[in-house]
Amino acid sequence: MSAARVTTTWVRSFVEELYAAGVREVCIAPGSRSTPLVLAFAEHGSFRMRVHLDERSASFFALGVGKASGRAAVVVTTSGTAAANLLPAVVEASWGETPLLLLTADRPHHLRDSDANQSVDQIHLFGRYPRWFADMAPPSDDPAALAHLRRQAGRAVAAAVGGPAGPVHLNFPFSKPLEPEDGPAGSEPVSLPERDPSLAVSVRTARCSEEEIDALLQSFEDHPRGVIVAGPSSVPDRLGEAVVRLGAATGYPVLADPLSGARFRPDHGADVIAAYDAFLGDAVVEEALRPGLVLQVGGAPTSMRLQRFLGGTRADRHVIVDAGARWKDHALLATDYVQADAADTLARLGPRASRTVDGAWRSRWRDAESAARTVLSGPADAGAAHEGSVAGAVVGALPGGSTLVVSSSMPVRDLDTFGVPGEAELRVLANRGASGIDGVVSTAFGVAAASGGSPTVCLLGDVAFFHDQNGLLWSRESDAPVVFVLVDNDGGGIFHMLPVAEHEPHFTPYFATPHGLDFSHAARQYGIPWEDVAAEGAAEALARALRGGRTAIVRVRTDRAASHVRRREVRETVAGSVRRALG
């Protein structure tokens, strides 16, 4: 068998097995050395093939698909720095526990560690971030080698999807010729060997023992003043439902991060506390609300005020339930760390839990939440729109079933403070594994592609938009429309929250970094509809853009310093209102 035919058989066998394992989305960045893989996917005919000129944007799109679907999408790159451009998405996928499958083409072994063009060391290129790495064998027609190859495909998909989910990197060395032998007209087609039944690899799930479940139930009985803290989750649909049902069963207030899956869904009778970031930090309020038990799931809360509250109150019992890739107790608060799937554990606790909550203490939380929401959404905040109110307006304008992708930095913090739940059930996703702002545009398009046609909106700032302008090329994907709400304050607004903001003249040029760019030119380059509105008009503009049914950008110009002042004023008003409500 010729070398070209061996390579063709090799890669098509591998691709066939990926399909059998459930892979459907493939993101291609153009290159030469990856030709065998690209053509194998194309010839298969059953994958959704997507192409982008920028490897980083391609990988973040695939990341978005994984976040929204829980299934691993494939990224294919050529060798050299093309592969290195995947690192930011790999880091986010690893820390954010999101499935992602990276297939990088490489030079053959005899050209490695040499001056051969575009040859770099791609072995463990992404360090310890992947769940699994394999330097694939050179193509071979040996039946045992082909059987092993197929099993590596199944193993790779299983390692990417759980548990916990994350990136998997497979590195393919290819020698020339790279093109398939059966390409030209009249050539003999390449037939694949008959495949054995595909290898079924179960997803690892860590479950609580019955003894651990009983111990948790007893801790509820022992602590009538308990709260459930739901942090950002990689499986918000599963975790959010389990959280609110346990909250309803126990009567414990549920402090629901916007990324937990528990804030913007039916509460089933639970007391979902969404405005905690606006009233925590006040010593009188915190003393009145101090819990004796904290049951924490998900990652570290977005709110630093909530994190400080948990650290300052030092509950008698602080239970963390998590089976993820990273230790979830950086603040050293846990008295009990249960290494088990949180959604499964809480779902088992709910039907067996009894309502032993201290009713009067629970009422304090309800009163605090009610008073805070009145300020955040009522006339006291009217006529003084700012960046935070834009986040609240976006949540209020979204129809039920929508997905909101929110950028790190200030947008996710404003969503945490001002995004109170309404009638609409929403899914909220973000790249908070490593909390980077790079790639959010492409991630949003990937989320949209995996959301089955439901509306997808992305709330982001101008610096994040700048970082991934190349991602706007994804607007050509007909099945992935995204409405971007761009909060443009000409720089890094988050730095106004730090003490360095008082250190002018150095603060503005080195931290706030105003850029003076008009991003409407980027929208025009890609043919994307653009609308400029004031903060007060954000909700109406978003509704108009959603009715258009295509990718669009709504820009809201704001003032960094003024918005920072307004946030502080609103928090002071909320704290006063909550203190009065608590007597």
Domain boundaries, the chain: 3-173, 210-374, 387-557
Cα distances (angstroms) measured from residue 397 to each of 379, 419, 434, 528? 18, 11, 29, 21
Best CATH choice for the domain 3-173 from the list 2.102.10.10, 3.40.50.970, 1.10.645.10, 3.40.30.10: 3.40.50.970
Burial of 499 per CB tally in 10 Å (0-12, 13-18, 19+): exposed
Q: What is the mean pLDDT of the segment spanning 193-206?
A: 72
**pLDDT at position 340:** 96
Is the predicted pLDDT of residue 385 greater than 80, yes or no?
Answer: no
Return d(Cα 356, Cα 220) in angstroms, integer. 7
**pLDDT at position 512:** 77
**pLDDT at position 183:** 57
- Using a pLDDT cut of 70, give the percent of the chain over it: 97
**pLDDT at position 116:** 81
Return d(Cα 184, Cα 391) in angstroms, integer. 55
**pLDDT at position 315:** 93
Kindly indicate the confidence band of residue 1, based on its pLDDT and cuts at 50, 70 and 90: confident
Return d(Cα 25, Cα 431) in angstroms, integer. 20
Q: What is the mean pLDDT of the segment spanning 555-559?
A: 93
**pLDDT at position 186:** 47
pLDDT in tens, 346-383: 999 999 999 989 999 999 999 999 999 999 886 544 44
Cα distances (angstroms) measured from residue 67 to each of 88, 93, 298, 327, 529? 15, 9, 15, 21, 27
443 near 52, Cβ under 8 Å? Answer: no
Enter the CATH code of domain 387-557.
Answer: 3.40.50.970
On the question of a common fold for 3-173 and 387-557, the answer reads yes
Kindly indicate the confidence band of residue 478, based on its pLDDT and cuts at 50, 70 and 90: very high
What tokens does 226 get?
Answer: 């308990």
pLDDT in tens, 486-527: 999 988 767 777 787 788 888 788 787 888 899 999 999 999
Beta bridge partner(s), residue 228: 254, 295
* Topology, domain 210-374: Rossmann fold (3.40.50)
Return d(Cα 62, Cα 84) in angstroms, integer. 16
Cα torsion at 246, 249, 251, 253 (round to 10°)?
A: 20
Token look-up 């603040």 returns 331
pLDDT in tens, 130-182: 999 999 999 999 999 999 999 999 999 999 998 899 999 999 999 999 998 77
**pLDDT at position 381:** 45
Mean pLDDT of all residues belonging to the chain: 93
Q: What is the mean pLDDT of the segment spanning 305-331?
A: 93
Please give the span between the terminal C-alpha atoms of the chain, in angstroms, as a whole number. Answer: 85
**pLDDT at position 560:** 83
Backbone angles phi, psi at 531, to 5 degrees: -140, 135
Q: What is the mean pLDDT of the segment spanning 51-74?
A: 98
Q: What is the mean pLDDT of the segment spanning 309-330?
A: 93
**pLDDT at position 500:** 78
428 near 236, Cβ under 8 Å? Answer: yes
> What single letter denotes the amino acid at residue 284?
V
Say how many residues make up the chain: 583
What tokens does 163 get?
Answer: 């548990």
Return d(Cα 354, Cα 567) in angstroms, integer. 39
Is the predicted pLDDT of residue 113 greater than 90, yes or no?
Answer: no
**pLDDT at position 380:** 40
Return d(Cα 134, Cα 203) in angstroms, integer. 19
Cα distances (angstroms) measured from residue 285 to each of 82, 309, 365? 53, 10, 10
Is the predicted pLDDT of residue 9 greater than 80, yes or no?
Answer: yes
Cα distances (angstroms) measured from residue 196 to each of 20, 54, 316? 11, 37, 56
123 near 172, Cβ under 8 Å? Answer: no
pLDDT in tens, 387-445: 999 999 999 999 999 999 999 989 999 999 999 998 899 999 999 999 999 999 999 99
**pLDDT at position 205:** 79
Is the bond preceding residue 193 a cis peptide, omega within 30 degrees? no
Is the predicted pLDDT of residue 125 greater than 50, yes or no?
Answer: yes
